[in-house]
Amino acid sequence: MDILIFLLPTALLMGLVGLAAFLWAMKTGQFDDLEGDAARILYDDETPAPVDAPRGKKA
Amino acid sequence: MSIAADHSGVVPRVETEGDVNRLMLAVDGIHCAACVQRIERALTAEPDVVGARVNFTTRRLSLAWRGAPARATDFIDRLDDMGFTARPFDAGKLAAADAANDRRLMRAMAVAGFAAGNVMWLAISVWAGVFADMGPATRGLLNWVQALIALPAVVYAGMPFYSSAWHAVRSGRVNMDVPITVGVSLAAVMSLVQAIIGAEEVYFDAAISLVFLLLVGRFLDQRARGRARAAATHLLSLAVTEVTRVTADGRTEFVPIEAVRPGDHLLVAAGAKLPVDGIVYAGRSALDTSTLTGESVPATVGVGDQVFAGTINTGGALTIEAKAVGPDTVLAEIVRCMEAAEQGRARYVVLADRLAKLYVPVVHGLALITFLGWWLWPMHADWTVALLNAVAVLIITCPCALAIAVPAVQVTASGRLFKRGILLKSATALERLAEVDTIVFDKTGTLTEGRPELVDAAKVPAAALTLASGLAAASRHPLCLALRRAAGDVPALTGVVELPGDGLEATVDGRLVRLGRRDFAAPTAPEIDDGCAEMWLAGEGQAPVRLAFRDAPRTDAASVVAAVKRRGYRVALLSGDRPAAVAALADQLGITEWRAAQRPADKVAAIEALKAEGARVLMVGDGINDAPSLAAAHASMAPSAAADISRTTADVIFQGAGLDAVPATLDVSHRAQRLVVQNLVISLLYNATLVPLAVIGLVTPLIAAVAMSVSSLTVILNALRLGRAGKGTQTWTS
């Protein structure tokens, strides 16, 4: 049962990381607009691509 | 419905930090994510703009730019050109406190979720270890780790329940939070004692998972109500902030609304909103009064007529003399009415809390009997053993199933209604809907389509209809639009002049023709009052023709009214419209109880009168003028096309062209209420079975955990029956 000495802290640490990630996401306002942000991925990228990777763009 | 804001010449309050200006705008007219993209793209393309982000959920735009703060009006105009109405939004303290509360609950939920998950796997190890070969040292370690995780989490995450219970007890009441608090804290304290004395049994898992489950329910409830409050502040931002005042020597000046005194003369431009209640001093115009009366056809006003704040000037410029300012205006009265009415509803005690009133003394009495029974007589045991058994009684009776019984039904019921396009907003709405025995309808926009249609188009001479429609093409007046719809594709006439408040005038083939009010177009024609809105067409070589318009009832209005009457509901109609129009509709739909010309406060008074008679009123309405009565009624419904404020005040919002959502919702609420009662009975039965075991000292943590899960599962499964039962049984509406 000595393995518990490693397993318990490891498992709890992983859980705490998850909790911290959630609290961080909440603090940075990622749950403020669930409806709008869900659609944001569908927008076309307006900003021009970097010079070294030119992108075909319709006139 | 959206209300154009008066922002001519107004510089909104801009927050400037360094050289970056920030502004929050409430934007009307955002319907989909594509609108969000259009707005953000257009504004980002403007020079100097460093950030434009729309929150689709709250319909608010936060904007940041470099340079002059006064450019704010340019951006608002830019949005206006794109078809969006934006106005400065001052979130205020209320919204900030609300958001803080929201976050506190979410944080508590996250902590409780983390703790519940981790305590649970440790607890399962211990239970499993009972059967396998686990030494007391390992068990002790696992129990202490559980304590380490669960105790801080129970103290922190359970706060909302403890403070609610404390408030209730201090004011001499009892709610469901009292037994929850007692159960959770006793389970935690007793488990800690058990861990210290090295006993086998701890209840940390029961305590923390109960807190987590209950927090989830509370969070969802808080979200729904938070949205309602956000929209109420949205309405307040409608108030005009700056006005044009005419000084004694005839000049005009911009002054803040607070500086206006009764007796001042104010200039109201076409398209602007009236800032105060008053009387018309100069000018003629048509006012869109839909915010106050719900009536879609603009009212014509001239010198000496009384006008109200919040209505929109759709015609020519007006000069009005202020009579009532700020808190004395009718618009402010609506907001006050609504707030007062909502406080009344907040006092509603749900069935679960009423049950708690009985439940708490019984359970705590049992625990006391157990303690005394074990300690003094007949058991004569050690007082510690007696205390443990008494605490076990309290833990086993901790109302887990009881607390889930109601939310489980609510979730399935709202899911079922959602599929039909009916949105349930309030947590206690189902219970209140089930108690309803009287239904009060609003007229315009609720029983009717909310837009005028030409009456008997076939009886109007074709030539007159073509001529009238040609003239009407020049105007956006609702009656002209109705005329265009009725006449079909008719070429527009040129050279048409619109005289605000009167009508249209044009010279056709050298003859002067007029379309508009009777005393403008055909002063010699006899007056007809049949409750219809009307326009007259007359001129040289054109005999006066009366064009009557009526707001057509929704197609299923009559059948829905008949159906709810058959079910034994009392039906009434309250309208801000003129008596003749209301009488005609009431007659058509078979409603015998109706009142016309009701102002918002009159509607509330009428509903209060019904309540005083002992009636439980369901209010169905859509306009801003209905918002106070929606709040005052026992339960309320609004169509999804309703004004923002009504949608947020109403308990239930329904989509679609018909009214059949009303009987459908009542139907679901009745069945949901039956299931709630069943669930409460199941929870009590479970307690009745297990409490004797606890009293005689046979409850172990394993029994407690299994019993808790089984009882919770039973009530959830029972609630799910609502999703299946009664599919296709809505035939009674037809």
Distance CA B273, CA B2 (A): 12
Alpha helices in B550-660, H assignment, sequence order: 557-566, 579-589, 600-612, 627-632, 644-649
Residues B223 and B249 in one domain: no
Residue carrying structure tokens 């393995």: A3
pLDDT at residue number B25: 84
Indicate if the pLDDT at residue B264 is higher than 60: yes
Q: Nearest CB to B57: which of A1, A8, A33?
A: A33
- Asked if the model's pLDDT at residue B248 lies above 70, the reply is yes
Of the candidates B532, B550, B568, which is a domain's last residue? B550
Q: Could you give the maximum distance between any two Cα atoms of chain A, in Å?
A: 69
CA dist B574 → B294, B435, B578, B620 (Å): 11, 21, 11, 10
Measure the CA–CA gap between B719 and B461, rounded to whole angstroms: 61
Residue of B nearest to A1 (CA): B138
In whole angstroms, how far apart are CA B513 and each of B521, B525, B704?
A: 8, 15, 87
- Residue B574 or residue B286, greater confidence: B574
Beta strand pairing call for B652-654 and B635-639: parallel
Amino acid at B573: L
Section B385-413 average pLDDT? 75
- Of B510, B526, B550, the last residue of a domain is B550
Same domain, yes or no: B372 and B518 = no
When pLDDT is cut at 50, 70 and 90, the band that residue B703 belongs to is confident
Look at residue A49 and tell me whether its pLDDT is greater than 60. no
**Closest residue, chain A, to B55 (C-alpha):** A33
Q: Which of B43, B61, B89 is the last residue of a domain?
A: B89
Residues B474 and B584 in one domain: no
The answer as to whether B407 is a domain residue is no
Residue type, B507: T
Name the pLDDT band for B308 (thresholds 50, 70, 90): confident
Listed as own residue / partner, the contacts of B463-466 with beta carbons closer than 8 Å and 24 or more positions apart are B464/B537, B464/B542, B464/B545, B466/B490
Does position B725 have pLDDT exceeding 60, yes or no? no
Rounded to 10 deg, the angle between the B661-695 and B400-419 helix axes is 160
Domain-embedded: residue B675: no
Nearest CA in chain B to A8: B145
Quick: pLDDT tens for B415-431: 777 777 777 777 678 88
Residue among A35, A37, A46 minimizing CB distance to B41: A46
Q: Which residues of B12-44 are buried (b: 16+ CB within 10 A; e: fewer)?
A: bebeeeeeebebbbbbbebeebebbbbbbebbe
| Residue B650 domain-assigned (yes or no) | yes
pLDDT at residue B157 is higher than 90? yes
Pair B48, B142 in one domain = no
d(CA A34, CA B57): 7
- B478 and B572 in a common domain: no
Among B54, B110, B118, beta carbon nearest to A36: B54
Least confident piece of the model among B125-129, B282-286, B536-540, B668-672: B125-129
How many domains are there within chain B?
A: 5
Residues of chain B numbered 670-709 and touching chain A (CB < 8 Å): none
User: B104 and B196: one domain?
Assistant: yes
Burial class (CB in 10 A: 0-12, 13-18, 19+), B437: middle
Contact list, B118 vs chain A (CB under 8 Å): 11-12, 15
**B144 and B194 within one domain:** yes
Q: How far apart are CA B734 and CA B726, in angstroms?
A: 16
d(CA B716, CA B411): 10
Q: In terms of pLDDT, which residue wins out, B213 or B205?
A: B205
Q: Is the pLDDT of residue B127 over 90?
A: no
Residue B287's domain comprises 242-331
pLDDT band at residue B137, thresholds of 50, 70 and 90? confident
Give the residue on A whose Cα is nearest the Cα of B148: A12
> Between chains, do A15 and B110 touch, taking CB under 8 Å as contact?
no
CB contact under 8 A, A8 and B110: no
| Mean pLDDT value across residues B191-204 | 84
User: Does residue B151 register a pLDDT over 90?
Assistant: yes
Residues in contact with B625: Cβ distance below 8 Å, sequence separation at least 6, in sequence order: B291, B292, B293, B294, B334, B576, B599, B600, B603
Task: Please indicate, yes or no, if residue B695 is contained in any of the structural domains.
Answer: no
- Which of B41, B55, B117 comes nearest A33 by C-beta? B55
Q: Out of B54, B106, B135, whose CB is closest to A26?
A: B106
pLDDT of residue B129 exceeding 70, the answer is: no
Q: Domain check: are B208 and B349 in the same one?
A: yes
* Band (B343; pLDDT cuts 50, 70, 90): low
CATH number at residue B61: 3.30.70.100
Position B614 in a domain: yes
Position B131 in a domain:
yes
Closest residue on chain A to B106 (Cα)? A26
Task: Identify the pLDDT of residue B296.
Answer: 65
Q: Do B106 and A31 touch (CB under 8 A)?
A: yes
Q: What is the pLDDT of residue B339?
A: 66
Candidates B36, B54, B107; nearest CB to A26 = B107
Q: How far apart (Å, rounded) are the C-alpha atoms in residues B600 and B576?
A: 8
Taking CA–CA distances from A34, the nearest residue in chain B reads: B57
Check pLDDT > 50 for residue A58. no
For residues B507 and B493, give the distance between their C-alpha atoms in angstroms, rounded to a whole number. Answer: 9
**Nearest Cβ partner of B111 from A8, A12, A19?**
A19
Chain-chain contact of A40 with B141 (C-beta, under 8 angstroms): no
Residue B417 lies inside a defined structural domain of this protein: no
Q: Which of A7, A17, A27, A40 to mutate to test the interface with B (most CBs of B within 10 A)?
A: A40
The per-residue pLDDT for B238 is: 54
Grade residue B348 by pLDDT with cuts at 50, 70 and 90. Answer: low
CB contact under 8 A, B57 and A18: no
Q: What is the nearest CA distance from B86 to chain A, expressed in angstroms?
A: 18
The mean per-residue pLDDT over the stretch B574-580 comes to 84
The answer for residues whose C-beta is within 8 angstroms of residue B585's C-beta and 6 or more apart is: B443, B447, B448, B551, B553, B573, B591
User: How high is the ipTM of this complex?
Assistant: 0.74
Asked if B557 and B633 sit in the same domain, the reply is yes
Say yes or no: B218 and B151 in one domain.
yes
- For B312-325, write each residue's pLDDT tens digit: 887 778 889 988 87
Q: Which chain B residue lies closest to A23 (C-alpha atoms)?
A: B107
Measure the CA angle with vertex B165, ends B160 and B171; round to 5°.
Answer: 130
For residue range B159-170, list pLDDT tens digits in order: 988 988 898 888
User: If you average pLDDT over each of A2-16, B116-130, B255-269, which comes out highest?
Assistant: A2-16
Q: Are residues B309 and B208 in the same domain?
A: no
CATH of the domain at B497: 3.40.1110.10
The reply to whether B46 and B76 lie within a common domain is yes
Q: How many residue contacts between A and B have a Cβ separation below 8 Å?
A: 53
Question: What pLDDT, on a 0 to 100 scale, did the predictor assign at position A14?
Answer: 92
Single-letter code of the amino acid located at B68: A
Q: How far apart are CA B727 and CA B721, in angstroms?
A: 11
pLDDT band at A56 (very low <50, low <70, confident <90, very high): very low
Residue closest to B27 by CA, chosen among B223, B234, B224, B292: B234
pLDDT beyond 50 at B1? no
A-chain residues within 8 Å CB-CB of B114?
Answer: 15-16, 18-19
Pairing of strands B635-639, B60-66: unpaired
Q: What is the pLDDT of residue B568?
A: 92
A22 touches chain B (CB under 8 A): yes
Question: Average of pLDDT values for B347-357?
Answer: 70
In-domain check, residue B211 = yes
CA nearest neighbour of B216 among B162, B157, B174, B165: B157
Residue B9 has pLDDT above 50, yes or no: no
A19 to chain B, any CB pair closer than 8 A? The answer is yes
pLDDT over 80 (residue B556)? yes
CA distance A18 to chain B (A): 8
User: Any chain A CB within 8 A of the CB of B494?
Assistant: no
Q: In the block, which residue shows the tokens 């006391």? A: B368
Q: Is A15 on the interface with B (CB under 8 A)?
A: yes
Distance of CA B265 to the CA centre of its chain: 37
Q: Between B687 and B559, name the one with better pLDDT.
A: B559
Q: Give residue B150's pLDDT.
A: 94
* pLDDT of B344 over the 60 cut: no
Say how far apart CA B574 and CA B592 lie, in whole Å. 12
> Is 50 exceeded by the pLDDT of residue A54?
no
pLDDT tens figures, B51-75: 888 887 777 888 888 888 888 888 8
A50 cis-preceded (ω within 30 degrees of 0): no
Most confident of A18-22, B172-176, B253-257, B516-520: A18-22
For the annotated catalytic residues of B, the residue numbers are: 442
Total-model pTM: 0.65
Instruction: Give A18's contacts in chain B (Cβ within 8 Å).
Output: 114
Contacts of A15 in chain B (CB under 8 A): 114, 117-118
pLDDT at B390 over 80: yes
Per-residue model confidence (pLDDT) at position B727: 47
Q: Is pLDDT larger for residue B97 or for residue B8?
A: B97
d(Cα B505, Cα B591) in Å, to the nearest integer?
Answer: 41
- Please indicate whether, in this complex, the C-beta atoms of A34 and B57 are within 8 angstroms of each other: yes
| Domain CATH for B267 | 2.70.150.10
A39 contacts B56? CB cut-off 8 A: yes
pLDDT tens digits for B456-490?
A: 877 888 888 888 888 888 877 778 888 888 887 77
What value does the mean pLDDT take over residues B63-90?
82
pLDDT at B730: 42
Dihedral sign, Cα of residue B345, residue B341, residue B569, residue B727: negative
Average pLDDT, chain B: 80
Nearest chain A CA: its distance from B109 CA (Å): 10
